[in-house]
Amino acid sequence: MVDRGMVIVGAGEAGVRAAFALREQAYQGSVTLIGEEPHLPYERPPLSKIGPDASSGSVRAIAADDRFAEAGITFRRGLRVTALQPSEHHLALEGGKFLPYERLLLATGAAPRQLPGVPSSKRIHVLRTVEHAEAIRCHMQPGQHVAILGGGFIGLELAAMGRKLGTEITLIEVQPRVLMRGVPEVLALKLQARHVAEGVVLICGVPVEGIRSDENAVTIALGDGRTIEADALVVGIGAQPNTALASDARLTIENGIAVDQHLRTSDPDIFAAGDCCSFPVHAYAGRRVRLESWRNAQDQGAVAAANMLGHDEVFKNVPWFWSDQYDLTLQVAGLADGAVQEIVRPLTAEAEILFHLGADGQLLAASGLGPGGSVARDIRLAEMLIGKGAKPDPATLADPATKLKSLL
């Protein structure tokens, strides 16, 4: 008999976690992990915080070669899957070869969203890979001016790192403020103010009319008549899920590869996890979302592995993400859409948490901003309350003297 085994396409957080989780659950068949990049799997969050030594040798590997060997995981790096053929239970690989599978996990991640009309130039960059980080880092130095288009997490984290390295930074966000998606206005405005205080030139609410590049500079024409000239431009306007394999194989696509509460796709032997998939969130009555989050990818990788082995584990985790900018950390647990009441809980003079309640008093989300880990413990407790569907007393939430743990 042919050992079709378990195959994982995508060697990021979700794929690597799933591969090791299969072994942790005593699976004895073959496990094959396929990654397109030539490197060992590496952590992507540090790429937006690129330091002076940014290079392919300085990134943090998720797992080294010897760990894959010890676990009996075949890691095939630098290999592209060209097609998925569910009826045959195999993958087509570049070079004309095929790889059979018993069960398959798609952890193909996401790719930077492209801005139409942007010319190809060595001075215009996106950020997703270590090579992207290396290219951006060449411009992040004193005497250089880097423009950043996009006021999301990537753009703001790069702006903070650029200022730390002495780079002149202009950040352009076409929306009225930064972090329009998923972050309360009061916290977003505090981060805006911090960036301005650190010397970032921040332009919000102005459209971009055109972008030109030559050997010496990038020129950005704004809708209000201004022109920004910079040594480099980083475009950070979000990411698109990598769904081509799934779409060509006629799997259901809905803002990513659509999976059920068990992370199973429309094919019962194919699962998906991480940035590439949309899934029903247990805590919000099955509302479908797609998350680009380090922890979500890890957690889904583990659950997908269990269900590839025949378990029926429901993915119940509450959405959570964080961002480090300067000495400040932003953490958000849950989804605040639909909240009708906002409760402020001051922790210190520099740290606070906002609780977001629904019309029935249910805690939907919590957002915190403060130095270092000042908000981490309370956000973690709020995450647990959200997962339980709690309806805490607003006065209790607002009182920093009342420990959130007591509400559990």
Structural domains in the chain, sorted by start: 6-111+240-308 (3.50.50.60), 114-235 (3.50.50.60), 327-407 (3.30.390.30)
Compute CA 61 distance to the chain's CA centroid, rounded to the nearest angstrom. 17
**In terms of Cα–Cα distance, which of 192, 208, 196, 5 is closest to 102?**
5
| pLDDT, position 2 | 59
Q: What is the dihedral of CA 63, 68, 69, 72, to 10 degrees?
A: 160
Predicted confidence (pLDDT) per residue in 126-161, tens digit: 999 999 999 999 999 999 999 999 999 999 999 999
Model confidence at 62: pLDDT above 60: yes
Number of Cβ atoms within 10 Å of the Cβ of 349: 7
Q: What pTM, to 2 d.p., does this model score?
A: 0.94
Predicted confidence (pLDDT) per residue in 3-45, tens digit: 789 999 999 999 999 999 999 999 999 999 999 999 999 999 9
Nearest-angstrom CA–CA distance, 264 and 304 = 8
State the amino acid at position 408 in one-letter form.
L
| pLDDT, position 52 | 55
Judged by DSSP in three states, 192 sits in: helix
| pLDDT, position 207 | 95
Predicted confidence (pLDDT) per residue in 320-378, tens digit: 999 999 999 999 999 998 899 999 999 999 999 999 999 999 999 999 999 999 999 99
